[in-house]
Amino acid sequence: MPQSRCNDPCSAGYRKAPKQGHHICCYDCVPCSEGEISNGTDSEICHKCPKEEWPDEKKVKCVPRIYEFLSYEKDVLSIIFLGMVLFFSAGTLFISGIFISYWETPIVKANNRTVSLILLVSILFGFLSVFFFLDRPVDITCLLRQTSFGTFFSISVSCVLAKTITVCIAFKASKPGSVCGKCLTVNLSYYVVFICSSVQVLICVVWLLVSPPYVDFDHRSYPGKIIIQCNEGSDLAFYLMLGYVGFLAVVSFVVAFMVRTLPDIYNEAKYITFSMLVFCSVWITMIPAYLSTRGKFMVALEIFAILISCAGILGCIFLPKIHILLLKPNTNVRKTIIRRNKI
């Protein structure tokens, strides 16, 4: 039988669209919309693929979507981050070992060696918290990745703040008739570390109890992909946690900057100033980029910021001391330090 038509039939992957003002046998062939297929000729409508699937290139059948996350097997970035974590962790352990070996020397004792050791341990755990960000997210890693990072960072910055306050008070206490000398006898540094860290721990505990993070599957950001990511649960809690770390860092930077010109025996303030400058610079530049990316690249940005900021604190504060301990042992003598202080 002859067919009444004024154009060729629509092939698979297309649907019929009537022409306005023409007979019903005249129509246009329109490609199926994004996420839809048609597997026959002259299809009236296109069918939407299931949520876990996506059309192939010809839009004639649905194929499984690709799962995307920062994988050890598929992403070179994961291997690079893993190597950086191991390298920096080994460096932190090496510096900790040197400090313990020279525990009774003046350089180690000068700026509260216990707080310095707590700082080294918190930096080490800050590096190791990166493992919660790598590979496929699961419920436990989503719960721990941001809270562990925030807690360890707050301990680190609290230690830096405690050391800065100690430098400031120690210098003022050396003046005749100063009341600051009494403050050094009540373990002020430990109180600063404990109180500042406890605030962050409280924020994280409330966060986990009220609106904890969970695994989320993003089907919308990238066509043909399912992004497996951690939903923070409460954006307010996340930014509050991050903002509190930034607040401690800014306070440490301001105090250290104010006392950076103290005599050489107290020159750790200069190193603290540089470390907090690096820390703040990294996070200020990271946050806009973090908010504008999606998927595994957003996770990669946060990992990079964690590693660089931890490495900045470690290098700026401890490498000058390690240089003296290992390469200039003659200056690590009480008589030399007293003589430099008199000069």
pLDDT tens readout for residues 27-46: 888 899 888 998 888 788 88
pLDDT at 97: 93
Claim to verify: residue 41 and residue 99 sit in the same structural domain: no
Residue ranges of the chain with per-residue pLDDT less than 50: 185-186, 266, 340-343
pLDDT at 341: 46
Residue 188 lies in a domain: yes
Could you tell me the residue range of the domain that residue 57 belongs to?
A: 14-64
What residues contact 16, with CB distance under 8 A and at least 6 apart? 10, 27, 28, 29, 30, 42, 43, 44
Percent of the chain with pLDDT over 70: 85
Q: How far is CA 30 from CA 44, 59, 277, in A?
A: 10, 12, 57
Residue 9 lies in a domain: no
Claim to verify: residue 271 and residue 165 sit in the same structural domain: yes
pLDDT at 334: 59
**pLDDT tens digit sequence for 136-149:** 999 999 999 999 99
**Rg of the chain over CA atoms, in angstroms?**
30
Residue 184 lies in a domain: yes
Q: From 64, 84, 100, give the residue that closes a domain.
A: 64
Claim to verify: residue 56 and residue 121 sit in the same structural domain: no
Nearest 5°: CA angle at 109, between 104 and 114? 100
Per-residue tokens: 148:
């562990």
Claim to verify: residue 288 and residue 311 sit in the same structural domain: yes
Q: What is the number of H-type helices and E-type strands within the chain? A: 10, 9
Per the structure, how many domains does the chain have? Answer: 2
pLDDT at 121: 95
Torsional sign, CA 294, 295, 301, 306: positive
pLDDT at 333: 67
Claim to verify: residue 162 and residue 205 sit in the same structural domain: yes
Claim to verify: residue 116 and residue 166 sit in the same structural domain: yes
pLDDT at 311: 94
